[in-house]
Structure 1
Amino acid sequence: MITLDTVNLEIDGPTATIYFNRPDKKNAMNPQMHRDMNEALDAIEEAGGVKAVVITGNGDSFSSGMDLEECFLEPFEDPQRFYRTNLVALKWFQRLKAFPAVTIAKVNGFAFGGGFEVTGLCDLAVSSETVLFGLSEINFGIFPAGGATWAVTHNLPRKQALYYILTGDTLTGKQAEEYGLVNKAVPPDQLDAETERIVGKIVNKNPVTLELAKQVYERTTTLDLPAAIDYDQAKLWELSRLSNNEWINVALNQFKKRAYQPGLKSYERADAKS
């Protein structure tokens, strides 16, 4: 366990878990947390071999969003300080979106503003059914910014996205599952087990394949079909080179011997759990 001022980090083989750790403030994101998150992501990249990164909150909240006093009120009169303070947050949000490992939000309690955004930026998300998500920015006179509107736009249908942006109303974990913000909403006592189940499916996969699969998905959302095929074929050749043709030499050779059925399970990798 690596303990920072506002974030704890645990790396266990192919799995890293980041804990927001300001429980007395419902894990509101202050400037120190933004610095700590960049440091935590640095540590994960330096460790190497991490395939899944789980982000969750200590205490009874995932994150209540930005610390409005420390991030906005206090530095506002100094434009350069205000800019630098919030640039740190914007940096790690973008890093999280493009992180090479699979990112999984494990959402408990409250997820407002920045907490909503982090849920939307992660590749996958699991929440308890009783979580309250919200975009409260409209209630203090602004719109969701710093990527928050992007996260809503890319995770919720248009009418629902605009409803929560414009009203400030909350939605539950069950509604978040219905709208596509989270993959699964479960009873609170099943949140750990469901997250572990998903992590277990990720960590036995080829890490190069995981990273390139994410890249292909993100890029092809902006391409027409011919361009998308050109892109994914180039990435397939890249994958083959970087993984020594594992999909042919290992996976399909195992299939040829009927050692597994691809529609039901994954092939066996020598380093699946490492």
Structure 2
Amino acid sequence: MITLETVNLEIDGPKATIFLNRPDKKNAMNPQMHLDMNQALDEIEADGNVKVVVITGNGDSFSAGMDLEECFLKPYDDPQLFYRTNLVALTWFKRLKAFPAVTVAKINGFAFGGGVLVTGICDLAVASESALFGLSEINFGIFPAGGASWAAAHNLPRKQALYYILTGDTLTGRQAEQYGLVNKAVPAEQLDEETDRLVRKLLKKNPVTLHLAKQVYEHNRATDLPTAIDYDQAKLWELSRLTGSEWINVALKQFEKRAYQPGLSTYTRSDSTS
């Protein structure tokens, strides 16, 4: 366990878990947390073996969003300080979105503003049914910024995204699953088990394939079919080169022997985690 001032990081082989650790402040993100999150991502990248990163909160909250006083109110009269303070936050948000490992948000409680943003930019998300999400920025006179509106627009249907942006109303974990903000909502007592089940499934996959699959998805969301096909082919050659054509030499060789069924299970990798 690596203990920073506002973040705890646990690296356990191919799995890393980041705990937002300001429980007395509902894990609101202050300038120190933004610095600590960048450092946590540095540590994970330096390790070189992490395939899945889980982000959760200590206490009864995931994150109440940005610390309004420390991030906005106090530095506002110093434009350069205000800019530098929030640039650190925007830096790790963008890093997390493009992170090579698969990122999983584990929503254990309140997730407001920046908490919705982090949920939305993680690749996958599991929530407690009783978790509470909200974009409350409209209630203090601004719109969700810094990527929060992007997260709503890219994870919720249009009318639902606009509803929560314009009203500031909250939605439960169960509603978040219904609208697509999270993959699954479960009773609070099953949150650890469900997240671990998902992580175990991911850890059995080829990490290079996971990373390139993320890149292909992001690219192909914003392009036409012919361009997407060309990109797919280029990435498939890249994948083959980087993995020694494992999909041919290992996976399809096992399939040839009927050792597994691709529609129901994955092939066996020498470094997979059971």
Q: Which TM-score applies when normalising by structure 2?
A: 0.99
Residue equivalent to 1:122: 122
- Residue type of the partner of 2:101? A
Runs (5+) with no aligned partner, structure 1 = none
| Aligned length, in residue pairs | 274
Instruction: Answer whether contact 1:13 1:273 (CA < 8 A) is retained.
Output: no
Question: What does residue 187 of structure 1 align with?
Answer: 187
2:109 corresponds to 1:109: yes
Q: Distance in 1 between matches of 2:273 and 2:266?
A: 13
- Residues 79-158 of structure 1: matches in 2 within 5 Å? 79-158=79-158
Asked if residue 220 in structure 1 is aligned to residue 223 in structure 2, the reply is: no
Deviations 1:249-270 (A, max 9, x none): 0000000011111111100000
Correspondence for 2:172: 172
- Specify the alignment match of 1:238 in structure 2: 238
Distance 1:248 1:108 in 2: 40
Following the alignment from structure 1 to structure 2, what is the Cα–Cα distance between the partners of residues 263 and 162? 37
RMSD, aligned CA: 0.7
Residue aligned with 2:63, SS: coil
1:264 maps to 264
Matched residues in 2 for 1:4 and 1:144: separation? Answer: 28
In structure 2, distance between residues paired with 1:49 and 1:234: 25
1:273 Cα offset (Å): 2.3
Give the equivalent residue in structure 1 for 2:161: 161
Report Cα offsets for 1:56-86 as digits up to 9, x if no partner: 0000000000000000000000000000000
Matched letter for residue 170 of structure 1: T
Amino acid at match of 2:143: F
- Please list every run of at least 4 consecutive aligned residues from structure 1 whose deviation after the TM superposition is greater than 4 angstroms: none
Q: Which amino acid aligns with 2:103?
A: T
Give the letter for the 1:190 counterpart.
Q
Query: Deviations 1:92-139 (Å, cap 9, x if unpaired)?
Result: 000000000000000011000000100000000000000100001000
Q: Which amino acid aligns with 2:138?
A: I
Partners of 1:69 and 1:152 lie apart in 2 by 24
The answer for the alignment partner of 2:65 in structure 1 is 65
Amino acid in the other structure paired with 2:249: N
Q: Are residue 9 (structure 1) and residue 9 (structure 2) matched?
A: yes
State the shift of 1:49 in Å.
1.2
SS of 2:61's equivalent in the other structure is coil
Q: What residue in structure 1 maps to residue 24 of structure 2?
A: 24
Structure 2 residues not aligned, in runs of 5+: none
User: C-alpha separation between the residues in 2 aligned to 1:104 and 1:201?
Assistant: 12
CA–CA distance in structure 2, aligned partners of residues 190 and 139 of structure 1: 33
CA distance in 1, matches of 2:104, 2:138: 27
